[in-house]
Structure 1
Amino acid sequence: MQQIKVGIDAGGSLVKIAYQDNKRMQYKKYQLTELDQAMTWLKMISPGLKVALTGGRAEFIQKKHFSDALIIPEFQATCVGALTFLAEEGKKINEPFLLINIGTGTSWHLVNRDKYERILGSGIGGGAFTGLGSLLTSVDEYHKLTQLAVEGEKGNIDLLVKDIYELAEAPINGNLTAANFAKGKKVQHSDADRMAALANMVAETLALLTMQAARIHQVKNAVFVGSALVGNPALRNRLEFYFNMVGLSHRFLLNGEYCGAMGAYSFI
């Protein structure tokens, strides 16, 4: 029986797995609460796995499940995985470029061929979207929150530029946000409106930080990866809106949420 190689990325919310089966790469993900179930399943598919681990819970998994596993630094695994997926998807990009990994939080990496450096981090990401979303609404399930964000209208709770320049021509796009959530309880709004405003606030924050990093490092291209983009069209659409507006070239990788797992797999 052929020995199976497995890359595992165990982060703050999810456990992501990359492995080869019948000469094809396969990808699976589990909630962190399902960690033991996921590791039991892996041990069942092959008795002699070769495992590489990355992420915040890599050492925990090594001690409890795979004592011989390699541990790959998280940022290194993410960048290597992103370069692998770029090549697989045939997406050519001029280097250097920014790699933005939107997971529970968000990290920015400057990638230049085989060199990569983490240059920035933020607590704004998928964790803020889900956690703050559960406080703003009566919903705590991620996919329901993403659906609400699509259905809502951020202008029902955000103060927009056109609200300020009500009787005059605005000097910038009137639909841009002047102040997030500024209308507060003074107006009627729904759970969907609050989630639309939240998705926009996350996207605005990440876009501004990305544009500043791109200017500082003189980079014209950005690649976005991470689990917070999966099944979250409101967040992705708002990011695209801002980058199209300023002319920053950007790409979203199809399997971008598995960059860490794929990067770890590459070291076996």
Structure 2
Amino acid sequence: MNIKKVGIDAGGSLVKITYEESGVFHYKKYPISELASALEWLKIVAPNAKVALTGGKASIMKDQFFSEGKIVPEFESTCAGAMFLLNEAGIDTDNKIIIVNIGTGTSWFVADKNNYTRIFGSGIGGGTLMGLGALLTGETDFSKLVELASNGNKGNVDMLVKDIYYPQEPPIDGNLTASNFAKGVVNQNSSKEDKAAAVINMIGETLVLLSMQAVSAHGADRLVYIGSTLAGNEPLKQCLSSYKKMVGIEHVFLDHGEYAGALGALLLL
């Protein structure tokens, strides 16, 4: 293998690796519990590569594995990677863009060409899905929770606008949530699938509402969603996309968006 550059993003749940070999980018990810074995493998296959490190465990990685590695600020690397992927996909980046990075928690950035600013964050994210999902369903596997949500009905757990107005027609979309989990008192026989769907719905709606505020405050014309929580998570993507008309601007889900931090770190070497 002829690996010259490597970017590593080690966060709260996953370690993501991007490496360049003969001008081509490759992507790998591992649970954070496998950090040591993943980095040992990397040192074997890329002993002479330049390494850039980012994420919450960047300092640990530098001390234990890559003493010559370069630490890159997480927010800068995330935005640099996202902008590279946007350009690679042929998406216009001339105007302001809101980048929403849904990891363990969620961060919002405004990108104005090569200027990046983190504007706020939320504890709602993939960690919420894993933690609350486990408490409600007993499942601890990400893909299993997503599968459950795909087969669930949030309306068996959430109180919807149409529930409040029944039997009259509501003045707004009746499928919007009036109160998350409010039917837990009256419908205690909801399935694990329904509960998982309600968790993802709560996450998606919360992120959309915060994203709308970011778009309004900064005059952006595009929302770009990235982060490991979106990987293979069609229920969350569908939830976010369903509010496109309400937000009024384009939604973009980037291929390899979960690797934006690792890719950006590599690009900043």
User: Normalising to structure 1: TM-score of the pair?
Assistant: 0.97
Deviations for 1:208-232, whole angstroms, at most 9, x for unmatched residues? 0000111111222110100000011
Deviations for 1:78-131, whole angstroms, at most 9, x for unmatched residues? 000001111111122441110000000000001001101000100000000111
Equivalent position SS for 2:242: helix
Deviations for 1:175-226, whole angstroms, at most 9, x for unmatched residues? 1111000011411210000010110000000000000111111222110100
- Which runs of 5 or more structure 1 residues have no equivalent in the other structure? none
In the alignment, structure 1 residue 98 sits paired with structure 2 residue 98: yes
Structure-2 residue corresponding to 1:107: 107
AA partner of residue 205 (structure 1)? T
Q: What is the identity percentage for the equivalent residue pairs of Structure 1 and Structure 2?
A: 51
Structure-1 residue corresponding to 2:24: 24
CA distance in 2, matches of 1:83, 1:135: 36
How many angstroms does 1:167 deviate by? 1.8
Give RMSD over aligned pairs: 1.2
Structure-2 residue corresponding to 1:153: 153
Deviations for 1:57-98, whole angstroms, at most 9, x for unmatched residues? 000000000001000000000000001111111122441110
CA distance in 1, matches of 2:123, 2:137: 21
Structure-2 residue corresponding to 1:181: 181
Structure-2 residue corresponding to 1:197: 198
AA partner of residue 190 (structure 1)? S
Equivalent position SS for 2:212: helix
Structure-1 residue corresponding to 2:255: 254
Q: Which moved more, 1:211-220 or 1:232-241?
A: 211-220
Equivalent position SS for 1:207: helix
CA distance in 2, matches of 1:3, 1:136: 44
Contact 1:9 1:260 in 2 (8 A): yes
Contact 1:18 1:27 in 2 (8 A): yes
Structure-1 residue corresponding to 2:214: 213
How many angstroms does 1:49 deviate by? 2.0
Structure-2 residue corresponding to 1:49: 49
Contact 1:93 1:221 in 2 (8 A): no
Structure-1 residue corresponding to 2:143: 143
CA distance in 2, matches of 1:246, 1:24: 36
Structure-1 residue corresponding to 2:265: 264
Contact 1:94 1:221 in 2 (8 A): no
Structure-1 residue corresponding to 2:36: 36
Matches within 5 A, 1:62-101: 62-101=62-101
How many angstroms does 1:3 deviate by? 5.6
Contact 1:207 1:239 in 2 (8 A): yes
Equivalent position SS for 2:178: strand
Contact 2:3 2:21 in 1 (8 A): no
Deviations for 1:107-160, whole angstroms, at most 9, x for unmatched residues? 000100110100010000000011110000121111000000110000011101
Give the length in aligned residue pairs.
268
AA partner of residue 20 (structure 1)? E
Q: Which runs of 4+ in 1 moved over 3 A?
A: none
Equivalent position SS for 2:19: strand
Equivalent position SS for 1:111: strand
Contact 2:83 2:93 in 1 (8 A): no
